[in-house]
Amino acid sequence: MNRIAVIGYGGQGAWHCKQLLGSDVATLAGTYDIREVRCDAARESGIFVYESNDALLADPTVDAVVIATPNDSHEELVIRALRAGKHVICEKPVEMSVASFDRMAEAAREAGRLLTVHQNRRWDVDFLAMKAIVESGEIGDLIDIESRIHGSRGIPSDWRCTKEQGGGMMLDWGVHLIDQVLQIVGAPIEKIWCTTSHITNSEVDDGFKLEIYFEGGKSAHVEVATYNFLAMPRFYLRCKNGSALIEDWRKNAKVARLTAWCEKDVTPVQNAAGITKTMAPRDHLTLDTYEAPRPASDVHDFYRNFCRAIAGKEEPIVGLSEVRRVMQVMEAALASAESGQPVCTRI
Ligand SMILES: NC(=O)c1ccc[n+]([C@@H]2O[C@H](COP(=O)([O-])OP(=O)(O)OC[C@H]3O[C@@H](n4cnc5c(N)ncnc54)[C@H](O)[C@@H]3O)[C@@H](O)[C@H]2O)c1
């Protein structure tokens, strides 16, 4: 069993501690937080609290460290942990720029230690369902994908609303949705176009709409919003031979598979003030509709893979080249939003 310690006992640090307490591959060594109130909270939960980050990093029984602090502190803490000889799980986003990521990756190489990023939403069943539909080819080749997450409470009022600490929805939720889309569409990116919204916060984005154009013609729309009192569907997929939709991440995917393109006759539908055949819904004669099975998922697989990767038994599921690519997309997206122009690129 690997002994893992957690730096930062806020919302996400506490989540990691809970997972590690129930892990079958690792044990929780302890935690440290710069706020005494959070150290007290950890002690109340029966968790060992180190005196400082230095004390935690100096513990020779600790194999690996989770960094669960605000985004602007990741680089310094990750590099310190690597130089102390620890393997590191860094919370997402890895940092706030590609340059910062590169320094962290270089420190991992120099130290000969494993660095990975907690892209835990690769275990979301809605994402896994979409990925399975695309990979199975059951509705043909992908044309485009839309991935949205809509909330209605604005941006949280903690460090997430400050630019200095790496706030904003691009870095908070965008990092998950972009990572997921890049797992589904395996082609180089040629163009990025993004707009951000600032309804509840002027300093950082409280949402964005991002278009990603891939080589070969596929595209993705990624959208995060925090001022939507009715949410649009979580995922929408168009493929050459059908469509798939997930209305809400608690629901299964609905699939419509084309069984024949041509129809003998289409009965026109009365629509608003006119009739249409073009937009008339198809029926069972040319369309097979069904619910996709719910994929199995276990978040503990992240730690299982991490421990096997430390032992050199497998590659980390979240590889550094993937982490860098997501950071590149976010950087290009924010540059596009800033300039009001699309960014032509090769990512
Ligand atoms: N993967 C996910 O699903 C997920 C979910 C939420 C947050 N996160 C990420 O986790 C990180 C933390 O977010 P959070 O929601 O827990 O924030 P939070 O504000 O709840 O907790 C952060 C904690 O870090 C502590 N801290 C700050 N600097 C420190 C330092 N130098 N040493 C020790 N402790 C320090 C703070 O006192 C605070 O208690 C962020 O990077 C965030 O993006 C990931």
Q: What tens digit of pLDDT does each residue of 164-196 get?
A: 999 999 999 999 999 999 999 999 999 999 999
CA of 12 to the centre of ligand 1 (A): 6
Q: Which range among 134-148, 253-267, 320-334 shows the weakest confidence by mean pLDDT? A: 253-267
Q: How far is CA 53 from CA 7, 92, 99, in A?
A: 7, 20, 25
Identify the band that residue 208 occupies on the pLDDT scale cut at 50, 70 and 90. very high
- Ligand 1 probe mutation, 52, 69, 75, 119, most atoms within 8 A of CB: 69
Report the pLDDT averaged over residues 249-253: 92
Classify residue 254 as exposed, middle or buried by CB count within 10 Å of its CB (0-12, 13-18, 19+).
Answer: middle
Report the pLDDT averaged over residues 67-90: 98
Which pLDDT score, from 0 to 100, does residue 272 have?
Answer: 80
Identify the band that residue 237 occupies on the pLDDT scale cut at 50, 70 and 90. very high
158 CB within 6 A, ligand 1: yes
Which pLDDT score, from 0 to 100, does residue 266 have?
Answer: 85
Report the pLDDT averaged over residues 269-275: 85
Which pLDDT score, from 0 to 100, does residue 109 have?
Answer: 98
92 CB within 6 A, ligand 1: yes
Sign of the alpha-carbon dihedral angle for 76, 77, 80, 83: negative
Q: At what angle are helices 175-184 and 125-136 packed, to 10 degrees? A: 20
Tell me the three-class secondary structure of the chain, residue by residue.
CEEEEEECCCHHHHHHHHHHHCCCCEEEEEEECCCHHHHHHHHHCCCCECCCHHHHHHCCCCCEEEECCCHHHHHHHHHHHHHCCCEEEEECCCCCCHHHHHHHHHHHHHHCCCEEEECHHHHCHHHHHHHHHHHHCCCCCEEEEEEEEECCCCCCCCHHHCCCCCCCHHHHHHHHHHHHHHHHCCCCEEEEEEEEECCCCCCCCCEEEEEEEECCCCEEEEEEECCCCCCCCCEEEEECCEEEEECCCCCCCEEEEECCCCCCCCCCEEECCEEECCCCCCCCCCEEEEECCCCCCCCHHHHHHHHHHHCCCCCCCCCHHHHHHHHHHHHHHHHHHHHCCCEECCC
CA of 96 to the centre of ligand 1 (A): 14
CB neighbourhood size of 146 (10 A): 18
Which pLDDT score, from 0 to 100, does residue 267 have?
Answer: 84
CA of 114 to the centre of ligand 1 (A): 21
Asked whether the whole model's pTM tops 0.85, one would answer yes
Judge whether 7 and 81 are in contact, CB under 8 Å.
yes
Q: Would the pLDDT of 264 be above 80?
A: no
Which pLDDT score, from 0 to 100, does residue 262 have?
Answer: 85
Atom 10 of ligand 1, nearest CA residue: 68
Identify the band that residue 271 occupies on the pLDDT scale cut at 50, 70 and 90. confident
Q: How far apart are CA 76 and CA 92, in angstroms?
A: 15
Provide CATH code, domain 2-118: 3.40.50.720
CA of 130 to the centre of ligand 1 (A): 29
Sign of the alpha-carbon dihedral angle for 208, 144, 317, 249: positive
Percent with pLDDT over 70 in the chain: 100
68 CB within 6 A, ligand 1: yes
Report the pLDDT averaged over residues 14-36: 97
Report the pLDDT averaged over residues 138-158: 96
Which pLDDT score, from 0 to 100, does residue 81 have?
Answer: 98
Average pLDDT, the chain: 96
71 CB within 6 A, ligand 1: yes
Identify the band that residue 270 occupies on the pLDDT scale cut at 50, 70 and 90. confident
Percent with pLDDT over 90 in the chain: 92
Q: CATH 3.40.50.720 in the chain, residues?
A: 2-118
248 CB within 6 A, ligand 1: no
Q: Would the pLDDT of 296 be above 90?
A: yes
Judge whether 85 and 111 are in contact, CB under 8 Å.
yes
The backbone torsions φ and ψ at residue 68, rounded to the nearest 5 degrees and listed phi first, read: -130, 55
**Ligand 1 closest atom vs CA 71:** 41
19 CB within 6 A, ligand 1: no
| Class of CATH domain 124-253+292-298+328-344 | alpha beta
Which pLDDT score, from 0 to 100, does residue 150 have?
Answer: 97
Q: CATH 3.30.360.10 in the chain, residues?
A: 124-253+292-298+328-344
Q: Would the pLDDT of 100 be above 90?
A: yes
CA of 225 to the centre of ligand 1 (A): 21
Judge whether 3 and 61 are in contact, CB under 8 Å.
yes
